[in-house]
Amino acid sequence: MTLALPSGPAPAPRRQIFVGTALGCVAGTMLIGGQLAIWALIRDRAVDAGERFPASFEIPEVASNVMLMTLYALCLFAQWTVYSAKRGDHMHVGLSLGIVALMAIAFINAQAYVYNTMEMPVADGGYPGMFYAITGTMLALVIIGLVFTAVTAFRALGGRRGELELVSAHAMYWYFVAAAFSGVWFLVYVTK
């Protein structure tokens, strides 16, 4: 015999995409946080041993500063998307998402510039490998964000339900990326 419970209408959605993205951001924070912790540990060991860290590589600081500013500005545009979506302004949603994508591409371009300028072979000692590992992970997070932006644009501009939730989750992801890069910028590019 089935003990049927009283039935009711389907529950209102509980912001599934937003919560899932928040959990993804938590995982990403642990990823970058763990890497920064290892970076700091290795750097401390090198400094304690009287070595220079990095040994003989110059980091182009202007480009790295521009990368940071790009991400902060990107967050503003992602928030503009949320603002526009709240008002049902599809034109501005599309425009702001386009600018977000453009700035993410600019970040990737700046990172490529940093790699090219440094001319640092990955097998040339311990530092290059660590540098490429942590900045490469950061780059992967930005590329994931770019894909997220594209998906958000398709879904939001296609008139899917839950547009506001999606663009809010999208903005939150970029806030996380900006915060994560702030840590990388400070530890890897500034204090080295």
Q: How far is the CB of 98 from other proteins (least distance, A)?
A: 27
**Minimum CB distance to other proteins smaller for 130 or for 171:** 130
Q: How far is the CB of 139 from other proteins (least distance, A)?
A: 12
Which of 190, 140, 186 minimizes the C-alpha distance to 36? Answer: 186
Residues 178 and 72 sit within 8 Å (Cβ to Cβ): yes
Name residues whose C-beta falls within 8 Å of residue 23's C-beta, 6 or more positions apart in sequence. none
Longest CA–CA span in the chain (Å) reads 77
Burial degree of 5 (CB within 10 A; 0-12, 13-18, 19+): exposed
Name residues contacting other proteins, limited to 2-31 (CB under 8 A): 2-11, 13-16, 19-20, 23-24, 26-28, 30-31
> Is 123 an interacting residue with respect to other proteins (CB under 8 A)?
yes
> Is 32 an interacting residue with respect to other proteins (CB under 8 A)?
yes
Coil, strand or helix at 114: helix
> Is 118 an interacting residue with respect to other proteins (CB under 8 A)?
no
Name residues contacting other proteins, limited to 42-101 (CB under 8 A): 42
Give the Cα separation of 173 and 181 in Å (integer).
12
Q: How far is the CB of 132 from other proteins (least distance, A)?
A: 6
List residues binding other proteins (CB under 8 A). Answer: 1-11, 13-16, 19-20, 23-24, 26-28, 30-35, 37-38, 42, 122-126, 128-130, 132-134, 136-137
